[in-house]
Structure 1
């Protein structure tokens, strides 16, 4: 499918006036979690190419590396590039001395994390600043209160939440408008549709879909597992374990068949499904290759009928086997926090 002439449209994210490219670029895999870090010059070239093609919503986090992905983006956004992009980063996850992740939403930490990200990114202001995971030790209102101050000080423009429950989103939004909620949403991760998506839409909050290609499984199917390198955390994902892979393979095969009929790739079809969920949704597929970036942009020109969407959704109605993450990792299902009225402090 030709992609070179395609102009990436822009959408409003949330109700506060934030505008982004309708498809973003997840930058995590350039530096962390998906095997060894990729060569910095190549990744800077990729980022510049993405912006040239109209992919201007760039997503990172201080935990990617940690820190090295933000440093990479800081280098990539020199020489007039900063003004061309919508820059999103996150705080809230840090590694303890034993390298186990800790979740923190303490106000002093929020402020220190923001200041550190500003320095690494070498910018004066972060466009969209997410709480990456929810600290369940203290009321969400405490964390959002500090983020509100950072908005007032001009250090961040908009506030986001990642992997937050509906009740957490509501309480946060009551303190300061939440512009975007980032969540895993794809043909093989649809649990957010019952309560979280409707809550975001009721409150006028934009939706940023991470892993819209199912961690790469909806691009390559079982071959993904064969090609994972050492250090790639996907090796530990329950859905990609042998006991679950055989069942989940059938999902990919049906996506592949439909894509073949429509003259596109499985990844384009899966990504097009996310795009068709509404103009308040911005998927942020990650890639480290220009050819894959072009393919992802091509998904914007894949048109799906109501019958196509129904057929795709019937594939996942029986359910994907295996959890999204391994045990002990925080998700929206474990993000409720103490009520402010009953909180005694830490």
Structure 2
């Protein structure tokens, strides 16, 4: 197995770039076959990736089942992360942070994964109807029972992070973070640094936009980008102007756009761990090439100039999903 540079998440030492497993079962039209998914997951492990991130929501549990079939025989080679609170039940997205629901969701995930222990277990979203202290209580009890190793939060703001951390130390906060989505820079990043929490960056390639793979909005049915305002119509046409400048900058730098993005994310702090997702072994290899790219102050300034305020138009999420996001928003940010 290849050895990659590492970073720390709570008690775990993981590869500096992990793998988000969502799109092997969820969110981007028809999922690849189980065989193709298994091939990619094993290639990731062979390449030195030691953080695999899944969730109960992804494919209504099918993503966890895929990991069980594909890589759990290599359990000692990676840190396993999954999530609760968000789920897909009978085709409907459900948000439920009650302690009893968290406990039941965890048991289902353990069964699907074919294991008795998940290393890092996140609350996928904040359920505003349930005090976060109550939700954390369920996770603390799960840790005490040996079912999980560390606790994480996803898409939560600084105030919620502090409340949760007061109950029990939080190992990781997983939020969207890329040059096009910088909400964590409002308050979350500072809170994580202060409290010694890792910031796990999902969608660092902006759902393919910054990798140069989104050029039009003719998405297939089942692709979540069809409902995301910044990926459609006039918003997308506007956003591609910035993307084109970014792609050109990557060419001038001597790397691919994906590598430049991931190198930028890694440069944001030693506690930041990006988890790009892909269905392509070639793209995975390309992503890992980011570990050889150096971000200079001049490059940082150039990227900041390309993605200055106004460069990206359109909300990150459709209106209903945005209501489930606790991360702080900018004063002029479009939210629907």
What interval of TM-score do these two structures reach, taking the shorter chain for normalisation?
over 0.9
Residue of structure 2 equivalent to 1:11 = 7
Report the secondary structure of 1:66's partner residue: helix
> Does the 8 Å CA contact 1:124/1:155 hold for their aligned counterparts?
yes
Q: Alpha-carbon deviations, 1:38-97, whole Å to 9, x = none? A: 110111111111001111100000111101000000111243x00101000001113455
> Does the 8 Å CA contact 1:186/1:214 hold for their aligned counterparts?
yes
- Alpha-carbon deviation of 1:101? 2.1
Aligned with residue 250 of structure 2, among 251, 259, 278: 259
* Counterparts of residues 71-86 of structure 1 (less than 5 Å): 71-79=65-73, 81-86=74-79
Report the secondary structure of 1:94's partner residue: strand
1:51 to 2:45 alignment:
yes
CA distance in 1, matches of 2:112, 2:278: 22
Residue of structure 1 equivalent to 2:271 = 280
Sort the Cα spacing of 1:53 and 1:224 in 2 relative to 1 into closer, same or farther, 3 A.
Answer: farther
Q: Alpha-carbon deviations, 1:200-245, whole Å to 9, x = none? A: 111111000000000100012542634x322111111100111211
Aligned length: 326
Q: Alpha-carbon deviations, 1:158-182, whole Å to 9, x = none? A: 0000011111000000001000000
Contiguous gaps of at least 5 residues in structure 2: 330-336
> Does the 8 Å CA contact 1:221/1:252 hold for their aligned counterparts?
no
> Does the 8 Å CA contact 1:216/1:224 hold for their aligned counterparts?
no
Report the secondary structure of 1:90's partner residue: strand
Residue of structure 2 equivalent to 1:304 = 295
Aligned with residue 199 of structure 2, among 193, 207, 210: 207
Q: Alpha-carbon deviations, 1:305-327, whole Å to 9, x = none? A: 11111110121122310110000
Sort the Cα spacing of 1:158 and 1:33 in 2 relative to 1 into closer, same or farther, 3 A.
Answer: same
CA distance in 2, matches of 1:154, 1:162: 22
CA distance in 1, matches of 2:240, 2:70: 38
CA distance in 1, matches of 2:313, 2:213: 14
Residue of structure 2 equivalent to 1:324 = 316
Of structures 1 and 2, the one with the larger relative CO (CA 8 A, separation 6+) is: 1
CA distance in 2, matches of 1:334, 1:272: 24
1:20 to 2:14 alignment:
yes
Sort the Cα spacing of 1:182 and 1:205 in 2 relative to 1 into closer, same or farther, 3 A.
Answer: same
1:175 to 2:167 alignment:
yes
Report the secondary structure of 1:332's partner residue: coil
> Does the 8 Å CA contact 2:2/2:48 hold for their aligned counterparts?
no
> Does the 8 Å CA contact 2:2/2:46 hold for their aligned counterparts?
no
CA distance in 1, matches of 2:238, 2:155: 26
Report the secondary structure of 2:208's partner residue: helix
Aligned with residue 119 of structure 1, among 95, 105, 111: 111
> Does the 8 Å CA contact 2:57/2:86 hold for their aligned counterparts?
yes
- Alpha-carbon deviation of 1:333? 4.0
Aligned with residue 93 of structure 1, among 81, 86, 93: 86
CA distance in 1, matches of 2:109, 2:274: 23
CA distance in 2, matches of 1:104, 1:334: 21
Contiguous gaps of at least 5 residues in structure 1: 336-346
CA distance in 2, matches of 1:47, 1:37: 14
CA distance in 2, matches of 1:235, 1:297: 28
1:313 to 2:313 alignment:
no
Aligned with residue 128 of structure 1, among 114, 117, 120: 120
> Does the 8 Å CA contact 1:11/1:280 hold for their aligned counterparts?
yes
